[in-house]
Amino acid sequence: MKQTTNRKVAPKWVFSLYFIISFAFVFLSKAIGDLTRAGNVVWTGAYLFETLLISILLGALLGACMGTLFLLAEKTPPKNAGLPMATDITFAIKGRGITLSGKTFFFGSALVLLLAWLPYFLAYYPCVGAYDISNQMWQIGNDFYYDHHPLMHTLTLRFFVFLGTDVFHNVNTGLALYTIVQMVLLALSMSYGLWTLAKFRVRKWALIATLALCMLYPFHGYMSVSVTKDVYFTVFFTVLTVALFSLYLSPTEEAGRISFRMEYPLIVISTIGSILYRNNGKFAILVPMVLLLALLIFSKKERRFYGGLLSLLTLGLVIGLLILPGLSKALNADQGDKREMLSMPIQQFARCMIYHGGVDVLPEDDNTMTDAQKSLTNDFLLHEGYKNYLPQLSDPVKSHTNTALILYRPKAFVKTYMDLFLAHPGDFVNAALAINAGYLSPFDATHANIYSYATRPNLGYVQTYWQKDELEPWPVYQDSKWPALYDRLQEWSDNNGYLEYPLLIKLLFVPGSFFWAYILLGAYLILKKKWWALLPLSYIAGFYLTLFLGPCVQLRYLYPVMVTLPFMILLSGARPSTKTADVETSTSDTFVEK
């Protein structure tokens, strides 16, 4: 594959792009902050002018700073540019060189990660039984399945539950084995990312820092032992994005033609897995496929390569889509309600109703909705479900949603939706900002308390609530092997301890940081003209689109992009290699223990 040139970027394009990003950052942060404090934002001309003025001024200042930093970094000569891919990883400790083969480094780093997460496993033994486990256990116990939760994940859980009951005569043992396998798969996916960093000669300090982050980042420990589909999806998500980036950095001798390489089966397998373990995975994968189709059309010299890669993604997508109905038929599964996909219009309808429907919920209600709009809303949100509206969570209203309305009266639904949007655009914007505040603003704290209305404990950003009543029909129970650590971890998660950290450390935890980090990463790739490297980011962009249309901001939803970010950042700065060779890294790129 032909690599991009390293021509300098005109400063005007640098400052223009960073200004646009900074403007959007300030605008969204201010609007979300005002919305959180006041509960509502009235988008008057005066408010819009004030917000635009502040966004322009602060955006120009912030954009100038980022643009200057980029141009200064451009003057720094790249390190390890064009060197062959490394097959061995060499460390210098007290003057002695220790060389690890790629296989040893891969499995060794996975083992180190497992040992780092072991305390969480012992503290929460057999697992963290929050999220959807009770519902899936009910399906398993009653042999009645529906696809609201991915059937493949329910079957995976069923395998270990039956393994526990039939072989060990203990469901807890089965859940513990499920957790161990999940931890191993997650560790292997991160180890693949670390191995890829080492292969493309990312600086040793950055490699060690990434390994330490994977080991010590608390969210990894909690999620590695949580029974949820999102961890399995994270495994495939990470492998797919890293494999796509690995192809970009591969030698031109290999990447310019379609021949067998390890990345190809990994791409197919991870595409299939992402579809089977998350219902919206099939939508996210369409974005890089569309981008590849555009590259295939407009790039004459690389059509064979782009066509081959598009074929791999298509193959994975087709296989995944064929397996899904097969699973449904084999299990005689019912089709789950699609109301979760309607979370955004649900929130927008509900917000319009309580502000303009004359329903006596808020004093600001001006009763300006028409009778036809009220009638359709009442048919859509049954039993006055809109009165349960919470800005940060669609679940209270979603449970009253009549999704059949859209199937049987689609024209009336679309017409009413558009009429409400044109009549009350500010409420539509507010509903979207409120439910996605955590994703869009690193200063948001509402994401940490979306279940504040619930009386149950352990429902912060990190959910660790053991569903004792729901799991009572099964002989499963919490059996912590490290009670003192369990109490400490529960205190940190219940109090959302990360919000108490200093700002620069807190930014490593809050969900809004990750969105803007990816935006800045995309800007960097555009300015450096690394167009092909935007392909893995397009997959992440597709995933974000599904998040924005989702029911709330949750750690488990965002977890895949959390895991992937450090690998994407470091691989974006790596230079394309020449060809594979058994050479050691340079002396200046070794880790020295003093």
CA dist., res. 384 & res. 401, Å (int)? 10
Angle between helices 229-249 and 171-199 (to 10 degrees): 20
| Partners of residue 99 on adjacent β-strands | 90
Cβ atoms of 434 and 392 within 8 Å: the answer is yes
CA dist., res. 542 & res. 547, Å (int)? 9
φ and ψ of 178, to 5 deg: -55, -45
Omega before 126 within 30 of 0, i.e. cis: yes
| pTM exceeds 0.85 | yes
Q: Please list, in sequence order, all residues whose beta carbon lies within 8 angstroms of the beta carbon of residue 20, skipping any fewer than 6 positions away.
A: 63
Domain boundaries, the chain: 11-74, 88-337+490-581
Measured in residues, the chain has a length of 594
Res. 247: pLDDT tops 50: yes
Give the range among 181-195, 316-330, 571-585 with minimum mean pLDDT: 571-585
Ranges assigned E (strand) in 65-152: 88-93, 96-101
In the prediction, which pLDDT does 254 show? Answer: 46
- What value, to the nearest 5°, has the Cα angle with vertex 554 and ends 548 and 557? 65
Quickly state the pLDDT bin for 584 (edges 50, 70, 90). Answer: very low
Q: Please list, in sequence order, all residues whose beta carbon lies within 8 angstroms of the beta carbon of residue 131, skipping any fewer than 6 positions away.
A: 226, 227, 228, 463, 556
In the prediction, which pLDDT does 256 show? Answer: 44
Helix ranges (DSSP H) in 501-574: 503-506, 511-527, 534-548, 555-573
Q: In what order do the strands lie in the sheet with 88-93?
A: 96-101, 88-93, 592-593
pLDDT tens-digit series, residues 123-145: 999 999 888 899 999 999 899 99
CA dist., res. 320 & res. 314, Å (int)? 10
Q: Please list, in sequence order, all residues whose beta carbon lies within 8 angstroms of the beta carbon of residue 74, skipping any fewer than 6 positions away.
A: 8, 9
In the prediction, which pLDDT does 92 show? Answer: 54
In the prediction, which pLDDT does 97 show? Answer: 66
Q: Which two tokens stand for residue 474?
A: 């099964």
Closest CA to 499 of 447, 547, 539: 447
